[in-house]
Structure 1
């Protein structure tokens, strides 16, 4: 390769580098500005959102508040542990 070809390639690479870095910088600047504008809007108009009772999602039942899991959960956990030990042939003494 001659020096003209190398200098042309280096010029194209540096141009692409500058264009790419400028694009990323501008995009991130616009993103930060948009986030700040949304935050300022939310601070100025905190508002209470009106929820339509017809469109609200049904509430899931609260989990068991006891420290001990129920019998069904214990059975599932025991079966999973048994299957894991059987598959991996762990020598665990009871």
Structure 2
């Protein structure tokens, strides 16, 4: 799978969770399975993504009011992560 296809797969997974068509566990499993994409990006990308995924998993154990992690904010951060990953891949391809 091309990296662009993988980024779209991850965008779709985030959107599915936002639209209640998926679960946090499914999103995290899909995200973590993309080792080829993560290994093609600088190491910091994997660290940041894992941080967001861990917060999502932790937050899913509590009601929104009792957790300090906003699921919507974390999903917004994942969208931003994907935008930055896309830029990094484009810079690498054009270098």
Which is higher, the Rg of structure 1 or of structure 2? 1
Higher relative contact order (CA 8 A, sep 6+): 2
How does the TM-score come out when normalised to structure 1?
0.28
How does the TM-score come out when normalised to structure 2?
0.28
More helix by share: 2
